[in-house]
Structure 1
Amino acid sequence: MSDPFFQKKRKRSGDARSASSVKLRKRVDDVDEEPLESVEDMDLRHEYTQDVDSDEEANARETPAETKIRLARLYLEGFHDKEEELVDGADAAVADRENITARLQRDVDEGGGKMHIRIASRLAAPLENDILATRGHRMSVTSVCSNVAADSFFSADKEGRIVQWRLRDGRQVCIFPRRIEHTDIGWMPSATSGAARRRARAGQKTKTMQGIVHLEKEQGHTADIYALALSFDGKHLVSGGRDRKIGVWRVETRQKEPDASNTTHFVKFLLGHKDAIRALAFRGTTSELFSASYDRTVKLFDVAQLSYIETLFGHQESIQDLSCLRSDRAVTAGGRERTCRLWKIHDESQLVFRGGAKSKVHMLLEGGDLVDTPSRKNEVHEGSMDCVAMIDDHHFLSGSDGGMISLWSIAKKKPVFTMPLAHGYEVHTDDDGVSKTLPRYITSLSCLPYGDVFASGSWDGSIRVWALHEQLRSFAPLFTIPAEGVVNSLQLITPSIERGSEYPVHPARWRRRGGLHMPLAASGEEESGIRNQASRVSAIQNDPATGRILGHKESIAPLLLAGVGCEPKSHRWKHFPHAHTGTLVVPLWLCRDTS
Structure 2
Amino acid sequence: MSSFFTVPGAQKKRKRPAAPDAPKKRVAAASKSSAKSAKSARPAAAKQAASTTTKRRAERDDDDESISGSDSDDDESITSASDATSDSDKDSDNEGETAAEKRLRLAERYLDNVREHVDEIGFDAAEIDRDLIAERLQEDVAESKGKVYRQLASELAFGSASQTLFRSNTNSVTSIAACAPYVYTTTKDLFLHKWRIQDLPQHQYPQTTKRKPKKPPAPPKKRPELEMWIKGNAAKQQDKDYKRHSGRILAVAASSDGKFVVTGGQDKKIIVYDAETLKPLRVFTQHRDAVTGLAFRRGTNQLYSCSKDRTVKVFSLDELAYVETLFGHQDEVLDIDALAQERCISVGARDRTARLWKVAEETQLVFRGGAVDKKPHPGVNPRSLLHEGSMDRVAMIDDELFVTGSDNGSIALWSVAKKKPVFIQPLAHGLDPPLAPEAASAEAHPDPKAIPAPLPRWITALKTIPYSDVILSGSWDGHVRIWKLSEDKKRIDLVGTLGGSPEDQPSENGDDQPNNGTPKAQRPRPIHGVINDIAVFERGDRGQDGICIVAAVAKDHRLGRWTVNKGNGVRNGGVVFEVPKVPKSLTNGAHKEGEEGGDVNGADED
TM-score category, normalised to shorter length: 0.5 to 0.7
Q: Of 193, 210, 223, which aligns to 2:247?
A: 223
- Residue 489 of structure 1 aligns to which amino acid in structure 2? D
CA contact (8 A) 2:164 2:576 kept: yes
Q: Tell me which residue corresponds to 2:572.
A: 581
- Residue 301 of structure 1 aligns to which amino acid in structure 2? F
Residue 355 of structure 2 corresponds to residue 341 of structure 1: yes
CA contact (8 A) 1:137 1:157 kept: no
Q: Tell me which residue corresponds to 2:535.
A: 491
- Residue 559 of structure 1 aligns to which amino acid in structure 2? C
Residue 483 of structure 2 corresponds to residue 466 of structure 1: yes
The 1:321/1:56 distance shift into structure 2, 3 A limit, reads closer
CA contact (8 A) 1:165 1:171 kept: yes
Aligned residue runs from structure 1 range 6-21, under 5 A = none
Aligned residue runs from structure 1 range 329-478, under 5 A = 329-358=343-372, 380-429=386-435, 430-431=440-441, 433-478=450-495
Q: Distance in 2 between matches of 1:152 and 1:494?
A: 12
CA contact (8 A) 1:357 1:380 kept: no
Aligned residue runs from structure 1 range 144-183, under 5 A = 144-147=176-179, 150-168=180-198, 170-181=224-235
- Residue 139 of structure 2 aligns to which amino acid in structure 1? R
Deviations 1:145-200 (A, max 9, x none): 121xx43221111112122222135122212123141899xxxxxxxxxxxxxxxx
Deviations 1:407-437 (A, max 9, x none): 1121221222221111111243443642403
- Residue 393 of structure 1 aligns to which amino acid in structure 2? D
Query: CA offset at residue 110 of structure 1?
Result: 1.5
Q: What is the RMSD of the two structures over their aligned residues, measured on CA atoms?
A: 3.8
Query: 3-state DSSP class of the match of 1:68?
Result: helix
Deviations 1:29-75 (A, max 9, x none): xxxxxxx99x9xxxxx99959899x9987754443245335544676
Q: Distance in 2 between matches of 1:182 and 1:342?
A: 36
Query: 3-state DSSP class of the match of 2:434?
Result: strand
Q: Distance in 2 between matches of 1:88 and 1:250?
A: 38
Query: CA offset at residue 494 of structure 1?
Result: 2.1
CA contact (8 A) 1:220 1:247 kept: yes
- Residue 477 of structure 1 aligns to which amino acid in structure 2? L
Q: Distance in 2 between matches of 1:359 and 1:590?
A: 36
CA contact (8 A) 1:427 1:436 kept: no
Q: Distance in 1 between matches of 2:233 and 2:262?
A: 16
Q: Tell me which residue corresponds to 1:143.
A: 175
Q: Tell me which residue corresponds to 1:31.
A: none
Aligned residue runs from structure 1 range 48-197, under 5 A = 48=37, 59-69=94-104, 71-72=106-107, 89-90=123-124, 97-98=131-132, 100=134, 102-125=135-158, 127=160, 130-147=162-179, 150-168=180-198, 170-181=224-235
Deviations 1:51-105 (A, max 9, x none): 99x998775444324533554467668879999x8999559877664152x3332
Query: CA offset at residue 141 of structure 1?
Result: 0.8
Q: Tell me which residue corresponds to 2:334.
A: 320
Deviations 1:390-419 (A, max 9, x none): 112222111111111111121221222221
Q: Tell me which residue corresponds to 1:286.
A: 300
In structure 1, stretches of 5+ residues that fail to align are 1-7, 29-35, 40-44, 185-214, 253-262, 361-375, 498-551
Residue 268 of structure 2 corresponds to residue 244 of structure 1: yes
Q: Distance in 2 between matches of 1:278 and 1:87?
A: 42
Aligned residue runs from structure 1 range 265-280, under 5 A = 265-280=279-294
Query: 3-state DSSP class of the match of 1:425?
Result: coil
CA contact (8 A) 2:297 2:341 kept: yes
Q: Distance in 2 between matches of 1:183 and 1:23?
A: 80
Q: Distance in 2 between matches of 1:339 and 1:224?
A: 26
Q: Distance in 2 between matches of 1:81 and 1:183?
A: 56
Query: CA offset at residue 12 of structure 1?
Result: 7.0
Query: CA offset at residue 279 of structure 1?
Result: 0.4
Q: Distance in 2 between matches of 1:359 and 1:405?
A: 11
Between Structure 1 and Structure 2, how many residues are aligned?
A: 455
Q: Of 559, 562, 569, which aligns to 2:548?
A: 559
CA contact (8 A) 2:384 2:453 kept: no
Q: Distance in 2 between matches of 1:490 and 1:306?
A: 27
Q: Distance in 1 between matches of 2:579 and 2:232?
A: 34
Q: Distance in 2 between matches of 1:219 and 1:78?
A: 45
Query: CA offset at residue 467 of structure 1?
Result: 1.9
CA contact (8 A) 1:126 1:589 kept: no
- Residue 490 of structure 1 aligns to which amino acid in structure 2? I
Q: TM-score, normalised by structure 1?
A: 0.68
In structure 2, stretches of 5+ residues that fail to align are 22-33, 42-88, 199-222, 375-381, 500-526, 586-592, 594-606
Query: 3-state DSSP class of the match of 1:278?
Result: strand
CA contact (8 A) 1:132 1:586 kept: yes
Quick one: higher RCO (CA 8 Å, sep 6+), 1 or 2?
A: 1
Q: Distance in 2 between matches of 1:246 and 1:575?
A: 28
Query: CA offset at residue 380 of structure 1?
Result: 3.9
The 1:452/1:77 distance shift into structure 2, 3 A limit, reads same
Query: CA offset at residue 306 of structure 1?
Result: 2.8
The 1:460/1:58 distance shift into structure 2, 3 A limit, reads same
CA contact (8 A) 2:388 2:407 kept: yes
The 1:99/1:233 distance shift into structure 2, 3 A limit, reads closer
Q: Tell me which residue corresponds to 1:591.
A: 582
- Residue 466 of structure 2 aligns to which amino acid in structure 1? P
Query: 3-state DSSP class of the match of 1:67?
Result: helix
Query: CA offset at residue 589 of structure 1?
Result: 1.1
**Deviating more after overlay: 467-476 vs 435-444:** 467-476
Q: Distance in 2 between matches of 1:277 and 1:86?
A: 45
Query: CA offset at residue 125 of structure 1?
Result: 1.7
CA contact (8 A) 1:427 1:435 kept: no
The 1:310/1:48 distance shift into structure 2, 3 A limit, reads closer
Deviations 1:256-314 (A, max 9, x none): xxxxxxx4323332101111110011222322221100110011122343321111000
CA contact (8 A) 2:413 2:424 kept: yes
Q: Distance in 1 between matches of 2:263 and 2:308?
A: 15
**Deviating more after overlay: 345-354 vs 219-228:** 219-228
Deviations 1:426-480 (A, max 9, x none): 2434436424032211011011122221210011111111222234332222211
Q: Distance in 2 between matches of 1:82 and 1:277?
A: 42
- Residue 306 of structure 2 aligns to which amino acid in structure 1? A
CA contact (8 A) 2:462 2:533 kept: yes
Query: CA offset at residue 246 of structure 1?
Result: 1.2
The 1:378/1:77 distance shift into structure 2, 3 A limit, reads same
Q: Distance in 2 between matches of 1:382 and 1:344?
A: 26
